[in-house]
Amino acid sequence: MRIVILDDYQNVALDMANWSMIRETATVEVLTEHIDDADDLVDRLQHAQIVVAMRERTRLSASVIDRLPELELIVTTGMSNAAIDIEHAKNRGVIVCGTGGYVSPTSELTVGLILGVARSLVWESQAVASGGWQTQVGIELRGKTLGLVGLGRIGSEVAQVALALGMNVVAWSQNLDADVAASRGVRAVSKEELFTTSDVVSIHLVLSERSRSIVSRPEFELMKTDAILVNTSRGPIVDTDALVKALESERIGGAGLDVFDDEPLDASHPLRRLACEHPRVVLTPHIGYVTDGLYRQFYEEIVEDIVAWLDNRVVRVLS
């Protein structure tokens, strides 16, 4: 039996769990590079009965699945993965399983990006490393307003840290309950008020057709000229072209981004240039969930799923 682990960028998958039982009966191959081309992907996955996917790094479309006749099981980290055509897999008789997880690593990174942009941390670090010293004047967060676009699990955790820092926190989403927001110390506002009054806007929505490009040119035009946008959710929630123009024209003050329309981010993407030129543009490579503890849970439960499948027991099947 052949098992292929996709997108193990740090080459740590086999160290994060005990694969010994599986490796007695199967070969386990780790792919550390991202494979974007569908033909190349199919080539690398030929004769694999099991494919392990990390989040939404690689698209397993209907056409890719159809070209893998020996595929029987896909295991993904988390209990959802928009990059897998789950319905088509089921129709083909391919089981798709997932794992548990938790959100605190992404909440923590969100706060880190807010602080990193407000204090130009990357810029100042590079200045010191190259022999320089103070180059920027930072922005204080105490007394400022954080606007959360979405108040789910991650947004709620970010709100608690912001409140501890002395920020005022407001939130908006299409179905936000004002009483629920108030119970978390957050004031529910209209979308227009959030973008008009917030010093920091942080995105915490699930990507859907309803949320795609929900932050675009009209929202940037409402924002304060020194306001910061942070996105650790999904890239397409923000209109990237509009964001680039807003940063280039100094319509907004900065951005901290962990997610992008296409990942890995193209080497020539204008956001990379802006990160080199703008002291308040900080980019991270979708590392919100990339922590030792969460990776260990992911891979340990991946092993559990594979062992259960081998024993004709299936757990954590995605619907």
CA pair distance 129, 110, nearest whole angstrom: 25
278 catalytic, yes or no? no
From the list 76, 73, 40, the residue with the least C-alpha distance to 57 is 76
pLDDT of residue 319: 74
H-run or E-run covering 310: helix 292-310
pLDDT of residue 317: 92
pLDDT along the chain (319 residues), means of 10: 97 98 95 97 98 96 98 96 96 96 98 98 98 97 98 98 98 96 98 98 96 98 98 98 98 98 96 98 98 98 96 84
b/e map 258-269, b = 16+ CB within 10 Å: bbbbebebeeeb
Domains of the chain: 2-98+291-310 (3.40.50.720), 104-283 (3.40.50.720)
Whether the CB-CB separation of 308 and 314 falls below 8 Å is answered with: yes
88 catalytic, yes or no? no
Catalytic option among 55, 57, 204, 234: 234
Catalytic option among 72, 263, 300, 304: 263
Residue corresponding to tokens 């973008």: 195
Q: Cβ–Cβ contacts within 10 Å for residue 179, how many?
A: 7
Catalytic option among 57, 119, 278, 286: 286
Whether the CB-CB separation of 146 and 159 falls below 8 Å is answered with: yes
Whether the CB-CB separation of 175 and 200 falls below 8 Å is answered with: no
CA pair distance 83, 129, nearest whole angstrom: 39
Whether the CB-CB separation of 85 and 40 falls below 8 Å is answered with: no
pLDDT of residue 313: 86
pLDDT of residue 314: 72
234 catalytic, yes or no? yes
